[in-house]
Amino acid sequence: MSIQLAVFIIYFSVVFVIGFLSLRRTQTEEDYWIAGGKLGWLVGGATLAATHTSAGTFIGTIGVIYTAGWSFGWLILSVVFAYWFMAAVLAPRFTRLKQLTLPGYIQTRYYSKTARGVAAVIILVATIVYIQAQIVAGGLVANVVFGIDPNIGMIIFTIILLLYTVIGGMIAVAYTDFLQLVIMVIGVVVSIPLAIKQFGGFYPLLDLARSVNPITFTWEGLPGSLLFTMGLAFFLGGVATPEKLTRLYAMKDMKTIRRGIFLTIVLVGSINLLVFLLGIASISLFPLLPTGDLAMPLVAKAILPPFIGTLMLAAITSAMMSTVDSLLLVAGSALSEDIYQTFFSRQSSPRKKLIVARVGILVVGVVPLILVLSGVGKGELIQFIVLLFTALMASSFFMPVIGGLYWKRATKEGAIAAMIGGTMMTGGWKLFGNTSVDPVLPGFLCSAFLLVVVSIFTKPPPEAAIRPYFDPTSSTPETAN
């Protein structure tokens, strides 16, 4: 048995064991969707960091740096600011009334099942787009590691993810995320010195990268307007993406959330800095790749000793899995909790609700695989698919979430208009707009305009809807759904 195969068998075996152990602790919907709201700061912060660190980081970011140079690396500052904003501004009010899902918050604050349904549909569509990027990355890694057809690799990758996510829910996801984050950190920390050693030191590495691609250390790789608006997408999307917001509900209290997010900032910042260095190394090692998304798997296989290289590839796989399992939970909850159970089957037994939840996750896991195998989205750099998802989430939810917490006058009509208008503007700009401006900017501006204008011209919200978020004495630690 090869080293690569042995390492991956051990890794996936541990993941499955965590999934089955989590099944025994998953008794209620609250357990399944938000781990009972009892995560501590260590696991909570680690799962938040692992969810952020996806194929977009290990494959997508390196792919863009390989193509466009270091300018893309500066966007990590917007990510750090997003997590600070989440802890300091959003979480104190957002978590006063715990929900199982982001659309659950939308319904409670905006006193409307319709608003909840709109939010759920947007999450479903956008999440399918994002999961496609991670599945493509899984196929690339399988091809590099085992030499199998990328399509077969994508199928195997999806099956593994679905098995442990469907079985254990958020409890399984949180603890597998913790394991996966440990592997990611070990992988990059061990790989960086070995990569630098290949070139005889840090500065020779930089010199060679500059000679191979003269724009590597300039601002010429991407238009300034695109860099700025992509940074805006990472900030707004980092605050408003549902898989991160539900992590706030999964942690015990505000003290736990603040500690967890501080840990997230340290981990995400460190991992991204090290990944940036690996991106520079890939320029020197493989100057003629057909796509930058191949750079990281080839770095792991070509310059590292077999065991370390396999560990690095396992770290890449961990990054993808830690994000997709979270997205599967979010999309599955949107389908089963926010659409089926809200509109069609409110009186289901707890057992039936968990069955529906698991079926929902299966559906949203299989659909993006089918789309990828059919050629939808093929050929685009993974990071730009990730950015589209981030832009959609930012344009749809940032204003309804933040506006709902800090503006009493925000109404259900305004929230619905903001979500739909922001989504449509983002999609339209992606298809027909100026490519030097990320779709998040027009989408966000449209969403903000509609929330304010439509709310002003519609009936004010009832006191009961806004009281939990503006009057601390009325809050409750219990789940609202």
Sorted by where each begins, the domain ranges of the chain are 3-375
Q: How sure is the predictor about 120, in pLDDT bands with cuts at 50, 70 and 90?
A: very high
Whole-prediction pTM: 0.83
How far is Cα 373 from Cα 158, in angstroms, rounded to an integer?
12
pLDDT tens per residue across span 307-360: 777 777 776 776 677 677 777 888 888 887 888 777 776 666 667 777 777 888
Q: Quick one: which of 323, 306, 311, 319 has its CA closest to 10? A: 311
38-54 pLDDT, tens digit each? 889 998 998 888 877 76
Pull the structure tokens for residue 308: 């370390």
Q: Report residue 69: phi and psi, to 5°.
A: 90, -170
Stretch 190-203: mean pLDDT, rounded?
A: 81
Place of tokens 């978020």: 469
Mean per-residue pLDDT over the chain, rounded = 82
Residues 440 and 87: their CA atoms lie apart, in Å, by 22
Give residues with Cβ within 8 angstroms of 274, minimum separation 6: 188, 189, 191, 192
User: What topology is assigned to 3-375 in CATH?
Assistant: Sodium/glucose cotransporter (1.20.1730)
